[in-house]
Structure 1
């Protein structure tokens, strides 16, 4: 079968006994970076030298059929550089191919940057959404954040240290400067740090420069009690800025609780009335 295994995200001591035992016995490993896997084997004092197959973003589609067929005959361990394969790492395509081919898939649980950051963030953990890596370009980031403007669950993002100041600034612009958030840096490592505060405060914190691997955790939107007429005004404002009426009605409906259909009809009537006066 295919075995997905979580590896340490920083602290080598987080490698589970089950992971080490599997590494000592497995004959084939599909690795995101074979050099990283070789270093892991050495660091864990694993004498076994299994066959290593490179499986990364650029070759996963081509290599998956071969690995799936190999897994019909023997176990194939799948490793990413850190954390659980398939979660913002290679492996999803392979698992999908294995499932379609009727080949078994299991996992060895372990370290997770997403869950670790969520746990230490100080923000609600009962409901959350993982949004993966933040877009590189300003416009794409802003568009993605606007789509999440009414999201009430805690949101978790991955980001690069070179962009985090710009990312936090864009978040403050879209979500509001007072929205609570946390930036978790170098999780489980010697220089681990969690900066908590409002997005405005974190923008100032990040301006001094940030190093290391990052996870950003942002509080969800608070429910808003808005009168229907005010909600219609919000829809019309979005339409004036270029948003389609249907999309604007849906967006405002999400964070006000008013019916999207009723907002659409009322906004359409208001636009018709305004045009008639002209």
Structure 2
């Protein structure tokens, strides 16, 4: 998903109306959904909530980034999900490609989190195998909360030392990258019970294969992207899993779907 901070900040969730098509059709204020999301969020032991976007013809990108498919309501829904989460997980490549800055929720979401006794912002967890990151990358240098960087045992030692100045670097996998199961175990150890994964497709594929996605929140843009843009995931053939529809929201021509993954 594209970082909402690359778009003008919505004026506030409660001013944004969406059509809930299922269940219980009605026009609802977006902010009304937050308490339900908080109550229904899967525990870290069950897996993460994954949030992605796609065009009608299955592309996860337009002109190389997902942001071209998004909308103000879609961005506000991402902020809402982030406001409920303890930790937001993003692959290093997606952070660079989508132009993430320091991960912050909106002012309204900060106020809500304070009322819940939470920190102002969730923790950003960066997944990186080769640690081809810089301490001055905006998503690290501008982070309001010290980020986590999750990697494997083959990560370069010099990069670990450099990045430790701006983030906590955690080895969570025996190999070139972080293992999804080990990542969730690390979150549980830290008391991070609500996990939001924003991809990208490579991360989502690995997490689906490892059974670490409990829900998929997929926005379907009313657009045909064409071209050779990648899909939201590209896992192994023959690994289809059932998904139960939990909610359908509509904003104009965009549908925002929520599924429980079997």
TM-score range, shorter chain: under 0.3
TM norm structure 1: 0.24
- Normalized per residue, the structure richer in strand is 2
Max Rg structure: 1
TM norm structure 2: 0.25
Question: Which structure has more RCO (C-alpha within 8 Å, separation ≥ 6)?
Answer: 2
- Normalized per residue, the structure richer in helix is 1
